[in-house]
Structure 1
Amino acid sequence: MIFRLADFHFPDSAARLYPDTPQRPWILEVGFGDGRFWPHYAATFPEAPNYLGVEISGVSLLKAERRLREAGLSNAVLTKLPATPLIREVVPAGSLDAIVVNFPDPWPKAGHAEHRLLRAPFFRLAASRLKPGGAVLLTTDHDEYFEFACREAEASGVMRAELTDPPPAALETKYARKWRELGLGVQHARFVPTHHPHVPHGTVARFPDSEDAPAVPHAILTLPAAFDPGAFHKHTARGGQTREDPVGWTVVLLELYRSLKQDGWVMLAHVVEGELTQEVLIGISARGDGSHLVRLASFGGPIITPGVKAAVGVVTDWLESQGAAVRHRGY
Structure 2
Amino acid sequence: MIYQLSDFHFPDTPARLFPDTPDRPLYLEIGFGDGRFWPHHAATFPQAPNYLGVELSGASLQKANARLNRSGLTNAHLSKLPALVMLDAVIPEASLDGIIVNFPDPWPKKDHLDQRLLRAPFFRLAASRLRPGGAVLFTTDHEEYFEFACREAEQSGVMRTELRDPPPAALETKYALKWRELGIGAQHARFVPTADPHALAATLPRPDIRALPLEDQALPHAIVTLPDPFDLTDFEKGAVRGPGHTVVLLDAYRSLRRHEYTVLAHVEEGELTQEVLVGITPRADGSTLVRLAKFGGPIITTGVKAAVAAVTAELVKRGAVITHLGY
TM-score after normalising by structure 1: 0.84
Matched, 1:311 2:311: no
* Cα contact 1:282–1:297 (8 A) shared by 2: yes
Is the 8 Å Cα contact of residues 207 and 298 (structure 1) preserved in structure 2? no
SS, match of residue 150 in structure 2 = helix
Q: Is the 8 A contact 1:254 1:270 kept in 2?
A: no
Counterpart CA distance in 1 for 2:64 and 2:253 is 38
Tell me how far 1:52 sits from its aligned partner: 1.2
Q: How far apart, in 1, do the equivalents of 2:53 and 2:212 lie?
A: 20
What is the DSSP-based 3-state SS (H/G/I as helix, E as strand, rest coil) of the residue aligned with 1:41?
helix
Q: Deviations over 1:97-134 (max 9, x none)?
A: 11000111101123222221112332233223222332
Q: Distance in 2 between matches of 1:10 and 1:218?
A: 23
Cα distance in 1 between the residues matched to 2:287 and 2:59: 46
| Structure 1 pair 218–150 and aligned structure 2 pair: CA distance change class (3 A) | same
Report the counterpart of residue 202 of structure 1 in structure 2.
208
The match for 1:95 is: 95
1:174 matched to 2:174? The reply is yes
Match of 1:105 in 2: 105
Distance 1:311 1:71 in 2: 40
Q: Which moved more, 1:66-75 or 1:308-317?
A: 66-75
Residue by residue over 1:246-297, the C-alpha shift from the partner in whole angstroms, topping out at 9 and shown as x without a partner, is xx3232241152573x865432323233454333222334456655432212
1:249 aligns to 2:249 (yes or no): no
Structure 2 unaligned regions, length at least 5: none
Output the CA distance in 2 between the equivalents of 1:59 and 1:296.
Answer: 26
Q: For 2:110, what is the secondary structure of its paired residue?
A: coil
266-275 or 40-49: which moved more? 266-275
Where does residue 143 of structure 1 map in the other structure?
143
Structure 1 residue runs without a partner (length 5+): 242-247
Q: Identity, % of aligned pairs?
A: 65
Q: Matches of 2:250 and 2:174 in 1, distance apart?
A: 40
Higher mean C-alpha displacement, 19-28 vs 55-64:
55-64
Deviations 1:199-237 (A, max 9, x none): 414324245227xx4x42223444445654345322222
Corresponding position: 1:218 with 2:221: yes
Residue 29 of structure 2 corresponds to residue 29 of structure 1: yes
Tell me the amino acid that sits aligned with residue 236 of structure 2.
H
Partner of 1:245: none
Deviation of 1:23 (Å)? 0.3
Give the AA of the match of 2:315: L
* Aligned-partner SS, 2:215: coil
**Cα distance change, pair 311–185 in 1 and its aligned pair in 2 (3 A):** same
Letter in 2 for 1:48: A
Contact 1:128 1:199 in 2 (8 A): no
CA distance in 2 between partners of 1:308 and 1:85 (Å)? 16
Counterpart of 2:206, as a letter, is P
- In the other structure, the counterpart of 1:269 is 265
- The verdict on how the C-alpha distance between 1:199 and 1:96 changes in structure 2, with shifts beyond 3 A counting, is farther
Q: Return the alpha-carbon distance in structure 1 between the equivalents of residues 125 and 26 of structure 2.
A: 16
Cα distance per residue 1:32-80 (max 9 Å; x no partner): 2232322232232222111112223333333333333333322211223
Give the alignment's Cα RMSD to 1 decimal.
Answer: 2.8
TM-score for both structures, normalised by structure 2: 0.85
SS in 2 for 1:307: helix
Aligned residues: 321
Residue 138 of structure 1: how far off its partner (Å): 0.6
Q: Give distance in 2, aligned partners of 1:228 and 1:65.
A: 42
Distance in 1, matches of 2:174 and 2:253, equals 45
- For residues 323 and 137 of structure 1, do their structure 2 counterparts lie closer, same or farther at Cα, with a shift above 3 Å needed? same
* One-letter amino acid of the counterpart of residue 219, structure 1: A
